Amino acid sequence: MVTLVLGAQFGDEGKGKITDLLSQTADLCCRSAGGHNAGHTIIHDNITYDFHILPSGLISPKCVNLIGSGTVVHVPSFFKELKALEEKGLKDANKRVFISDRAHVCFDLHSVVDGLEEASLGGRKVGTTGKGIGPCYSDKASRTGVRIGEVLHEGIVERKLRNLEAGYRRRFGDLTYDLEEEIKRFKEYRTLLKPFVVDQFTLLRKYKDASILIEGS
């Protein structure tokens, strides 16, 4: 059985609370879209947990969690959030969360571009969170972005990220961004990410007869 939790309005509708309740009986909880700009705050056993990119099904000890292909993942935020949950007592969280190899990487570059795009709109600003979600999805749509699975292969991130940076620099002459630092960081993430990256469809087939909860952003 598949249960889908979505909001039909503008956020802050209580999706996190509903997801928390439903995840207690779910075998698999999936984030379907969005990035680390989203937010669920859940109080469980008098402990407050903040979720952004991680599925809130991690609170349930028997629930496996998946960050799906439709998401965009800011890798530093993923590890920061995972560490915060472990420090609050969810010691096995790192063994119950996986990332689809087809999810896209949200770089710090995207955050910088997000701010520049917003500034260029003047009085017609969107009101973005500045986390780079919009530019990252734009790169995904134009097929120039980087997938999580590509981080595991040497050279791909560097080549694609240099191309992205060059394109944005042509568009925004005042782009202030440390390309070399981000490339260096992702060389380190290659090893750290490997245990979490899966083929989403292989994982889902294992749970085809189980209780699956899909969590909207």
178 is in an annotated binding site: no
37 is in an annotated binding site: yes
Query: Residues 12, 45, 174, 209: which is the catalytic one?
Result: 12
Reply yes or no on whether the pLDDT at 96 is more than 70. Answer: yes
29 sits in which H/E element: strand 28-31
Query: Residues 36, 40, 52, 160: which is the catalytic one?
Result: 40
Owner of token pair 């909880």: 29
Right CATH number for 105-193 from 1.10.1240.10, 3.30.460.80, 3.40.50.1980, 1.10.300.10?
1.10.300.10
3 is in an annotated binding site: no
Give the CATH fold of the 2-103+194-215 domain. Answer: Adenylosuccinate Synthetase; Chain A, domain 1 (3.40.440)
87 is in an annotated binding site: no
149 is in an annotated binding site: no
12 is catalytic: yes
Query: Residues 36, 52, 74, 140: which is the catalytic one?
Result: 140
Would you place residue 12 in the very low, low, confident or very high pLDDT band (cuts 50, 70, 90)?
low
* Residue ranges covered by each domain of the chain: 2-103+194-215, 105-193
From residue 124, how far is each of 117, 131, 155 by CA, in Å? 11, 19, 39
Better-predicted residue by pLDDT, 51 or 80:
80
153 is catalytic: no
Return contacts of 205-208, CB within 8 angstroms, 24+ apart.
207/27, 207/28, 207/64
Would you place residue 60 in the very low, low, confident or very high pLDDT band (cuts 50, 70, 90)?
confident
CA distance 40 to 29: 14
For 87-99, give the DSSP string. HTT-TTGGGSEEE
